[in-house]
Chain A
């Protein structure tokens, strides 16, 4: 018996208590009575009547893409079928709630024609990513035309133009979408049992069509190339909000306890830690790290920084003048629009002065054992006290001015841009102290560009860890205390 089998048998009797699921369902029913169900964004409510789900699974071999206008700026794209007698094995997909068919293997796609200057640049998220030096791009996402395809419609908002086409005898729909950062196109094309979503920006409709005409498809091998997601599942995912996970801290809430117990400058505080600063069991004693923010300073230029560690990001290039002085942050505020009857609209543009904030932070190993790979992760938070508690002003800046979102020439996320201690051993990024002996202290100098009008609200978390999670804001320092 292998180790794996032994361990599996030793853990196999760990089960949640009987009645756990029933209790959860009771809590859900209580929730429903109190607040009702909240449905996504305004655009989804407006589109809801136009998105029809359900129906009988059909075995079909002929498909046509069909668009329907909704309001002034939204379109639903669905598949119409010609009913034929062709047996297909179907199954109930518990993840989607639909009766559908097995996905096909991903196709191998070759583009025989590309717009001038474009080359293939595969990424982690898609194998078919073509781009040029100006940032114009075309991406292809293939899905399987499954038997549930005619039961779903994809809802697209912010649409300024669309038309149904035939490309090489295959049904297609071309769509132009107005987004926050410019115009985007989609071309949905049915080919060889697949629905291809061809999308991108900076390419004319004529070139998009010519690109699509030149595509060659060959069905791949499931074991080698993987499976192409079913169209019905892809539509389900696309019909709700953006794909990024939102955690508590992305909504901007900061626990009151965290703010009210903030440490001051020069105050050393201790955290349970060991290598890589992952929270250890409270039963583990003696493994601690002491942190102290020694000092904080503001400046109008970057002359105090070591050039070896100054970032070369767009933010810093936009913010720092050639002589090292700081410029301004140009911020534009927009109303979102509902994407159905209204589009995003610019409401206000302002120029905000910039400051360089530097902090000197000491990390000391208090334990009896050496620590390896100690995380350094300074995070600045602009915290505002409101009627509802403490919130991240930097997350809510646009809302505080009555707008839905903003676009800034210098966009800050609070994470340290500059730090002068770098790991030579880490494979997970350079922001680690490789080794701390018992009693040893390492001093790190960190720096951030900040909006001048947010300076008074700033707190520093010198040990911000993990993903964007409120738990990582523990032990913050009031840098003006």
Chain B
């Protein structure tokens, strides 16, 4: 469906979004890179058109989540020490590194909604639709994630 130029434009635009979400699931650079490549290949091979950029982005998120679930089932799943990984990242301040490790220390069901809500900017109903879980569950997970992170976050949480 895409010319190489068009695909390269889209891949460059969404690659890091795919990687961030995959990393939040897998907590492993190599696995997240594999998922990113697989998702981009699926995008290139897709025959059906997208209604708009919002449809495309939602599709990418769903495919990323499914690819991550496949890796969970793999006996070759890799593990990585998050503290070691965080040391290699160029955080401007220690509190960002601490918060990153705290987020990655959460259960995956919390990490995914944290990434989608706070970083990708999706609303609770949108996240519920993307992950196919009830809206109330999304809200609950965000609240519980904040509760677990509250020692690291410096300000009170407010729903947008």
Contact = CB atoms under 8 A, between A and B. Distances in A.
Contacts of B91: 9-10, 13
Nearest to A283: B107
Contacts of B13: 94
A303 interface: no
Given A15-B16, A20-B36, A94-B10, A469 B118 contact: no
A406 B62 CA distance: 30
B4 A427 contact: no
Given A20-B37, A280-B108, A281-B107, A275 B137 contact: yes
B49 A94 contact: no
A233 B158 CA distance: 38
Contacts of B51: 237, 243
A17 interface: yes
A42 to B, nearest CB: 13
A85 interface: no
B4 to A, nearest CB: 7
Nearest to A23: B37
A13 B50 contact: no
A10 B96 contact: yes
A88 B112 CA distance: 43
B66 A38 contact: no
Most chain A CB atoms below 10 A, which of B41, B47, B62, B91: B47
A6 interface: yes
B35 to A, nearest CB: 10
A467 B62 contact: yes
Contacts of B48: 240-246
B136 A427 contact: yes
Nearest to B107: A281
B96 A6 contact: yes
A454 B45 CA distance: 33
Given A243-B51, A427-B134, A20 B41 contact: no
A259 B65 CA distance: 23
A471 B137 contact: no
B19 A15 contact: yes
Interface residues of A, number: 58
Nearest to B13: A94
B41 A11 contact: no
B66 to A, nearest CB: 6
The majority secondary structure among interface residues of chain B is: helix
A229 interface: yes
Interface string B117-160: 01100000000100111111100000000100000011101100
B32 A1 contact: no
A179 interface: no
A229 B49 CA distance: 15
A465 B11 CA distance: 29
Contact of B146 (A3, A14, A279): A3
B103 A10 contact: yes
Contacts of B69: 279, 471
A279 B72 contact: yes
A284 to B, nearest CB: 6
A466 interface: yes
B8 A237 contact: no
Nearest to A470: B66
A14 B41 contact: no
A205 B54 CA distance: 36
Most chain B CB atoms below 10 A, which of A14, A237, A280: A14
Given A21-B8, A427-B136, A428-B135, A97 B3 contact: yes
Contacts of A471: 66, 69-70
A467 B33 CA distance: 25
B37 A27 contact: yes
B118 to A, nearest CB: 4
Interface in B2-58: 3-13, 15-16, 18-20, 23, 29, 32-33, 36-37, 40-41, 44-45, 47-53, 56
A21 B16 contact: no
16 contacts: A6-B153, A6-B155, A7-B118, A8-B119, A11-B20, A11-B118, A13-B89, A13-B91, A21-B11, A25-B4, A279-B72, A280-B108, A283-B107, A465-B132, A466-B132, A467-B62
Listed from nearest, the 9 A-B pairs whose CB atoms lie closest are: A428-B134, A10-B99, A16-B19, A281-B108, A7-B118, A10-B100, A94-B9, A13-B89, A10-B96
Given A15-B19, A233-B52, A276-B134, 16 more contacts: A7-B118, A8-B119, A10-B96, A11-B119, A13-B90, A14-B16, A14-B19, A14-B20, A16-B15, A16-B32, A38-B47, A229-B52, A246-B48, A274-B109, A279-B69, A471-B66
